[in-house]
Amino acid sequence: MPGESFYIATPIFYVNDVPHIGHAYTEVAADVLARWHRQRGEDTWLLTGTDEHGQKILRTAVANNTTPHDWADKLVESAWKPLLETIDIANDDFIRTTDARHEEGVTLFLQRLYDDGFIYAGEYEGYYCVGCEEYKQPSELVEGTGEYAGQLVDLIHGRPVEILKERNYFFRMSDFAERLLDLYESQPDFIQPESVRNEIVQFVKQGLDDLSISRSSFDWGIKIPWDDSHVVYVWFEALLNYITAIGYGVDDEQFERRWPAVQLVGKDIARFHAVIWPAMLMAAGLPVPRKVFGHGWLLVGGEKMSKSKLTGIAPSQITDTFGSDAFRYYFLRAISFGQDGSFSWEDLSARYQAELANGFGNLASRVIAMVLRYRNGVVPEAGDLELQDSAIRNAAETATQLADGAIDRMAIHEAIAAVWQLVDELNGYITEQEPWTLAKDPAKAARLDTVLATAVHGLGALAVLLAPVLPKATAKLWTALGGTGSPADQPIHRAYEWAGSGRVSALESGLFPRIEIEETEGSVA
């Protein structure tokens, strides 16, 4: 609530390729949560960034006849930072693992763990997946088919693994199994959703091995401070971005202000964030994250979104036709947050037309047009409220409370559904009250005033509540409603108490222009 700190971090994304809508889904979810908490008046910080070290990046760069640093620079500037603009992300920071601040923080952290006896030298041999940058257990591998027949392949990427034997440095992760299980039991909501939590708990109950945290077979990474013939294992280093970005070891005041964070990740990397990461923090004597939420996958044709499997869809393929607001709305409304969800152009187009264009957009246009036509743009004072009028005002308060509560549970889809109930009730209210009929009878002028005032009040509450999800459309609507500042400035937990100037102005063009389905399929499929 107001005055509290809320720090939310997305995973940092590999720069071996350009982003697809699976990456954008994570970014949008984190952004909506951050915007909501900002509107509560909380001290909010949203971090995202890129993961630029490791064998996978090195091989990608070599394959493209360049250096890994030049490859990372190119991808960050041409693809990953532009993604944030494409889908309207209001991040507070963007960290790259090649940043000097990150390398400095990683070096300090490693040295601390080494000095305290949590890191030792040893030898390891196992199946290594370059795509995951992770050693795999036999249970995580299957026999390949087709071109990979006769080879063991990784379940996630479907690519052959390599047998890797190295003298490495190890983190004593096995020491933390009981402490982790105690954490999961004492804080049942530390890992969400429940399906991910259950999987993690069962994994840790089987016992933990020590973790190999260095590589000597290649040199693209941060050097081990006491042995520069080794670089830090990319995952061990990358996880530290969440604290190096907020001043770990350098700016204690900033670090204390921000940490701990809510970690929003895809479920396939929840184990790193809910097992390895808190164990690392425990070893360093630091607080564990506030929460780890492993959301589901976006599926295309029944498979996880993937560039390597040619199922990746660029976000701009959607935003170029439907706009960034529709992109943001669709993925958070159509998919129960935390579960897998299937994407289809048909469902996107149908929801755009029915819910955004016909539902919310048409509601806004009708209400403002009627105030302009019947009252010359002056929002009238409401007279005596009838049951239907009181029901709408109560619905605005109920939607606010339900949505705010859903956000606390990370149930973004439920928050939007609660707000959309108000959209539907307002549309029904206008259809039932027929202000266009009331306007024909001078004796019903007072009743018309009440209906228009009630509709405008409900519409303003919607502008405030939907600002985190539809920032462009709600800003446009807010201006037409005579609101001061922007809807994002309004306290979202009291959205139903908003007040405007008392005048509306024309809503230039619709909030969501109609798009013909035939045209959509021809232009973006």
Could you give the strand order of the β-sheet that contains 134-136, starting from the edge strand earlier in sequence?
A: 134-136, 119-129, 162-171, 211-212
Rounded to whole angstroms, how far apart are CA atoms 108 and 235? 17
Tell which wins on pLDDT, 514 or 519.
514
pTM of the model: 0.90
Residue 169 has pLDDT above 90, yes or no: yes
Closest C-alpha among 484, 128, 5 to residue 141: 128
The C-alpha angle with vertex 31 and arms to 467 and 186, in degrees rounded to 5, equals 115
Widest Cα–Cα separation across the chain = 90
**Tell me: the pLDDT tens digits for 465-505?**
999 999 999 999 999 999 999 999 999 999 999 999 999 99
**Tell me: the pLDDT tens digits for 222-235?**
999 999 999 999 99
Torsion region of 150: left, alpha or beta (phi above 0 gives left; psi -120 to 50 gives alpha): left
Both tokens of 489, joined, read 């400035």
Residue 174 amino acid letter: S
Residue 260 amino acid letter: P
What residues contact 24, with CB distance under 8 A and at least 6 apart? 83, 86, 87, 315, 327, 331
Residue 517 has pLDDT above 60, yes or no: no
Q: What percent of the chain has pLDDT over 70?
A: 95
Q: In a 3-state reduction of DSSP, which class is residue 171?
A: strand
Q: In a 3-state reduction of DSSP, which class is residue 480?
A: helix
Rounded to whole angstroms, how far apart are CA atoms 273 and 264? 9
Give the per-residue pLDDT at 151.
83
Give the per-residue pLDDT at 508.
80
Residue 80 has pLDDT above 60, yes or no: yes
Q: How far is CA 296 from the centre of its chain?
A: 12
Pairing of strands 223-224, 227-232: antiparallel
**Tell me: the pLDDT tens digits for 85-109?**
999 999 999 999 999 999 999 999 9
The DSSP bridge partners found for residue 127 are: 136, 163
The per-residue DSSP string of 128-142 comes to: EETTTTEEE-GGGEE
What residues contact 79, with CB distance under 8 A and at least 6 apart? 18, 19
Rounded to whole angstroms, how far apart are CA atoms 316 and 319? 5
**Tell me: the pLDDT tens digits for 336-381?**
999 999 999 999 999 999 999 999 999 999 999 999 999 999 999 9
Rounded to whole angstroms, how far apart are CA atoms 83 and 27? 9
Rounded to whole angstroms, how far apart are CA atoms 213 and 120? 10
**Tell me: the pLDDT tens digits for 199-252?**
999 999 999 999 999 988 889 999 999 999 999 999 999 999 999 999 999 999
Contact 208/173 with Cβ under 8 angstroms? yes
Contact 341/296 with Cβ under 8 angstroms? yes
Q: Is 20 annotated as a binding residue?
A: no
Q: What are phi and psi of 523, to 5 degrees?
A: -100, -25
Q: Is 129 annotated as a binding residue?
A: yes
DSSP 381: P
